[in-house]
Chains A and B, each alone.
Chain A
């Protein structure tokens, strides 16, 4: 449905997007995850033909963004960052305006507007002016605008930013429902957001894709590395030396040390670490020390994200 080939865009000296390539199949919900300024919005703006790439191209539903922008725009529903709206228009007036510009046949405008008002839960505010709406309703209206022409592809730039937790859940459910039938790209710098709504995640940092996969796959990426927290009662230096001697252990960091208790963070390598907790237990027991804490830190998407986006450039 969406094929992106080596898209490149720079603003002056800064390279916002550096030769990004990916494909998205029909019906997929894909999340762009990355810190602010990573190039997520720029990529979306190129896909929606708002900006032109310096090099590279993309095809949406078979139409090239440079050669046939109108055909591309017809097939996309787009919610830009910060959801800009004409504050002086009424809700219905705005949707009518969008319908008219999109060239929706006069006969079906009414039905389309009723459909999106229903889907996005705007019935109670349909008679109001946009300026009077709360942020949550404005966001729904932005979505309604994007859905009005029943597009194949939805591109949503930070759809839940600035909403309260309750509204976030509502918008997420809305996106999930829509995502059953449509190809969706959404961006976020909030992790639970993408893991909750997306089939696949592309982690973008400094204009490059640094990781990609399902939320589960990404979590598995760094499952190889494991961190174990232990607190041992015993002579600190001996304990550290003994733990360093264990095969899977690659590093031991002393977090705290007082009254003969040492709190240590043990970072393990990628191999043979399934039983590392057991090995630590037996080592401590054999040496006649005692364990007061032993816990494995489970890796979640957040850790993968932090690791992938803070890794130094080679």
Chain B
């Protein structure tokens, strides 16, 4: 546990050792604020529905940016050999990297707090969807991050890592969209709907916190972190 914390700290700090972190946060805030305020005064509704509706698509591109260097850079520099010959367990490293990326994404998300504050100043938004939306965004983001960290672990090239993460996230996002659901056989429909990353986000975003949605995200995260663990361990036997 101590090692996880140490690795978490190292990973989290390393985001801020390059300008990437600041560029990331600024562009994320500019895009989210722009998309929000573009229609806010026209529609005149005190809700973040529009913002949360776009978030899965914004995260789709931004989460892989956060995770792409997690393992790929260690592999490229060779520091993975130093790291994994220290007395740490592989799962501690996997967890440390995952948590650091999640923390970074959550930090970026927290900085959008100005949006609900604006709503509260100008109107009286329903708090359920607000809290639900943010909780859902954290869970969705964490699931994206788990996929991204896994993608980073299978390559030493950050671009490849980014694209693989994007493709997997995209696949899991659209599999639950209506357009896919209409085109698959009915038997598969419910499976696809369950697998979709977005549909669970929408139901949490309504302010209804269903344990099934939470379990879904936690199992997605666990699944990809396990894959990450296996792919890192498999180097021993290659």
Which residues on A are within 8 Å of B, measured CB to CB? Answer: 11, 45, 48-52, 70, 73-74, 76, 78, 80-82, 84-89, 97-98, 100-103, 145
Contacts and interface: CB of A to CB of B under 8 A. Distances in A.
B236 A80 contact: no
A5 B3 CA distance: 32
Nearest to A87: B77
A48 B80 CA distance: 13
A52 B81 contact: no
A11 B77 CA distance: 21
Given A84-B82, A86-B79, A103 B17 contact: no
A143 B82 CA distance: 12
B6 A100 contact: yes
Tell me if A's interface is mostly helix, strand, loop or mixed.
loop
Nearest to A73: B87
Contacts of A80: 78, 81-82, 85
Contacts of B77: 84-87
Contacts of B14: 86, 88-89
A88 B14 CA distance: 7
A102 B87 contact: yes
Contacts of A89: 14, 17
Interface of B: 2-3, 6-7, 10, 14, 17-18, 77-89, 235-238
Nearest to B3: A101
B82 A145 contact: yes
Given A50-B81, A73-B87, A101-B83, 19 more contacts: A11-B238, A50-B84, A50-B85, A51-B235, A76-B85, A80-B82, A80-B85, A81-B78, A84-B80, A84-B82, A85-B79, A88-B14, A97-B10, A98-B86, A101-B3, A101-B7, A101-B87, A103-B3, A145-B82
A8 to B, nearest CB: 13
B236 to A, nearest CB: 4
A49 B85 contact: yes
Nearest to A82: B78
A228 B149 CA distance: 65
A78 B78 contact: no
B99 to A, nearest CB: 15
B87 A70 contact: yes
Contacts of A85: 77, 79, 82
A249 to B, nearest CB: 52
B18 A88 contact: yes
The 8 closest A-B pairs by CB, nearest first: A84-B78, A52-B236, A88-B17, A100-B6, A73-B87, A80-B81, A48-B85, A84-B79
Nearest to B81: A80
Contacts of B3: 101, 103
Contacts of A103: 2-3, 87
Interface hub of B18, B79, B82, B238 (most chain A Cβ within 10 A) = B82
Given A11-B238, A52-B236, A97-B10, A73 B79 contact: no
Contacts of A45: 81
10 contacts: A50-B236, A73-B87, A76-B85, A80-B78, A86-B14, A87-B77, A88-B18, A89-B14, A89-B17, A101-B87
Nearest to A97: B10
Given A85-B79, A88-B18, A102 B236 contact: no
Contacts of A88: 14, 17-18
B162 to A, nearest CB: 19
B153 to A, nearest CB: 16
Contacts of A76: 85
Contact of A73 (B6, B18, B81, B85): B85
Interface hub of B14, B17, B80, B88 (most chain A Cβ within 10 A) = B17
B125 to A, nearest CB: 41
Given A73-B86, A88-B17, A88-B18, A101 B6 contact: yes
Contacts of B78: 80-82, 84
A270 B80 CA distance: 50
B156 to A, nearest CB: 12
A70 B89 CA distance: 8
B47 to A, nearest CB: 42
Contacts of B235: 50-51
